[in-house]
């Protein structure tokens, strides 16, 4: 299997520039016709985490989604756009807020695209996935390039988690609470649902304690396109200063033959990889223990720990984190939210669900002492 991935520079979210850059990224890998048959039904899935403005870089930027939509319209596709964001349950009013504030509603209105809810599910293997996958001929995934406190980063493979309907995502966090198991579960979804095409928004990416508001936007000025999610994620990990096989989803997916993780075996088009590697890209605080030698981790794993903690000045007591916690480890007290660390599985769903950057990462004493 040969994987062709393109990397194209794009300095900002100007509508014309994003369209030209996205078109170039697709032309470099053979053009949209190589992946999608004209006049087909296509589900476009951005990464929408919160009801929040595009400037925060938490959700895929609407102009990248618009560019993909326009290219699909050029080949007369019928387009459905949707995601299963972090609204915890089938609270349609919250979902509408996500679509409106992320800019997706406006794009759909302006481009004549149907905005859909993932409210109907069909069990596929062990996952209740949106039935829009059945309705459509193709899935086009449009992730955001960002860090992730639990999986280190979120790119092509992680974006597919949003295809799981409603609150079952919380259930999966509880069931697969170890990072290794959670990563394998994400690869199970990839195995079940292979996108025909993935276009990644890395124009403004998110570094630090992503994928939510605790991360920090960083101008990376790049767009990526390809069919192979493993190859795309491998390229992203190198750009952020990691090795491809340091990311568990990439390693597992490559092991199962779902794509190529060997950078030398990936055919790169557009920018040269060495020219776009980001210097001092800030990883999530939780990721560092995975980068020290495994024997050291084994010796110290009970002592090197990361927990969520609240920054009370930023907390509005909205309770989103309480709803998001799969183990009910958070409660509302008089002074605000409180954590029960005996119940906490360090999944950082609470950090992900907080729109106010009020949940930070706390390190155990040993992690602090040895500088992790
Ligand atoms: S920490 Fe964030 S999500 Fe939790 S109650 Fe405070 S503002 Fe809301
Ligand atoms: S408190 Fe936060 S990190 Fe701990 S289990 Fe709940 S959501 Fe996960």
Top CATH class of 3-276 equals alpha beta
CATH of 292-369 given 3.30.70.20, 1.10.8.80, 3.10.20.340, 3.40.50.300: 3.30.70.20
Q: Quick check: 185 and 176 in contact, CB under 8 A?
A: yes
Write down the pLDDT at residue 216. Answer: 97
Q: And the tokens for 1?
A: 């299997």
Closest C-alpha residue for ligand 1 atom 6? 315
pTM for the full predicted model: 0.94
Range of lowest pLDDT (91-95, 153-157, 166-170, 223-227):
91-95
Residues 180, 51: Cα–Cα separation, whole Å: 29
DSSP state of 194: -
Q: And the tokens for 247?
A: 């990311």
* Nearest-ligand number for the alpha carbon of 321: 1
pLDDT tens, position by position, 87-113 = 555 455 588 999 999 999 999 999 999
Q: Locate the domains of the chain by residue range.
A: 3-276, 292-369
Q: Is the CB of 317 under 6 A from ligand 1?
A: yes
Q: State mean pLDDT over 153-179.
A: 93
Q: Is the CB of 258 under 6 A from ligand 2?
A: no
| Helices and strands: H and E segment counts in the chain | 14, 16
Does residue 264 have a pLDDT over 90?
yes
Q: Is the CB of 64 under 6 A from ligand 2?
A: no
Average pLDDT, the chain: 92
pLDDT tens, position by position, 62-73 = 999 999 999 999
Write down the pLDDT at residue 90. Answer: 47
Q: State mean pLDDT over 307-313.
A: 95
Q: Is the CB of 285 under 6 A from ligand 1?
A: no
pLDDT tens, position by position, 8-27 = 999 999 999 999 999 999 99
Residues contacting 295, CB < 8 A, separation 6+: none
Q: And the tokens for 193?
A: 């649902």
pLDDT tens, position by position, 326-372 = 999 999 999 999 999 999 999 999 999 999 999 999 877 666 655 55
Query: Ligand 1 centroid to 320 CA: how many Å?
Result: 6
Q: Is the dihedral of CA 350, 159, 65, 204 positive or negative?
A: positive
Note whether 3-276 and 292-369 share their fold. Answer: no
Query: Ligand 1 centroid to 267 CA: how many Å?
Result: 44
Q: Quick check: 87 and 98 in contact, CB under 8 A?
A: yes
Closest C-alpha residue for ligand 2 atom 8? 347
Residue 225 in 3-state DSSP? strand
């Amino acid at each position: 299997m040969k994987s062709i991935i393109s990397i194209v520079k794009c300095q900002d979210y100007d509508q014309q520039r994003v369209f030209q850059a996205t078109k170039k990224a697709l032309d470099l890998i053979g053009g949209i016709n190589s992946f999608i048959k004209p006049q087909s039904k296509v589900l476009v899935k951005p990464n929408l985490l919160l009801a929040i403005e595009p400037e925060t870089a938490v959700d895929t930027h609407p102009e990248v989604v618009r560019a993909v939509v326009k290219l699909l319209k050029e080949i007369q596709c019928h387009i459905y756009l949707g995601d299963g964001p972090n609204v915890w349950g089938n609270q349609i009013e919250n979902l509408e807020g996500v679509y409106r504030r992320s800019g997706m509603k406006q794009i759909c209105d302006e481009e004549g695209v149907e905005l859909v809810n993932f409210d109907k599910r069909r069990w596929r293997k062990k996952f209740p996935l949106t039935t829009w996958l059945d309705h459509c001929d193709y899935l086009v995934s449009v992730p955001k390039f960002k860090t992730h406190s639990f999986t280190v980063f979120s790119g092509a493979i992680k974006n597919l988690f949003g295809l799981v309907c409603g609150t079952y995502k919380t259930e999966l966090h509880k069931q697969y609470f170890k990072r290794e198991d959670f990563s394998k579960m994400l690869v199970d979804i990839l195995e079940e649902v292979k996108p025909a095409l993935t276009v990644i928004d890395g124009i403004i990416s998110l570094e630090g304690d992503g994928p939510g508001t605790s991360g920090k936007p960083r101008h990376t000025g790049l767009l990526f396109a390809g069919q192979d999610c493993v190859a795309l994620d491998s390229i992203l990990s190198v750009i952020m200063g990691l090795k491809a096989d340091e990311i568990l989803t990439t390693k597992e997916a490559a092991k199962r033959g779902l794509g190529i993780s060997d950078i030398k075996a990936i055919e790169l088009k557009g920018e040269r990889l060495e020219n776009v590697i980001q210097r001092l890209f800030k990883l999530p605080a939780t990721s560092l223990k995975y980068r020290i030698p495994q024997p050291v981790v084994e010796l110290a794993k009970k002592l090197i720990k990361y927990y969520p903690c609240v920054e009370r000045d930023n907390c509005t007591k909205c309770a989103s984190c309480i709803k998001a916690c799969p183990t009910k480890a958070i409660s509302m007290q008089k002074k605000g939210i409180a954590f029960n660390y005996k119940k906490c599985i360090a999944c950082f769903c609470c950090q992900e669900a907080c729109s106010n950057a009020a949940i930070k990462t706390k390190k155990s004493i040993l992690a602090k002492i040895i500088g992790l």
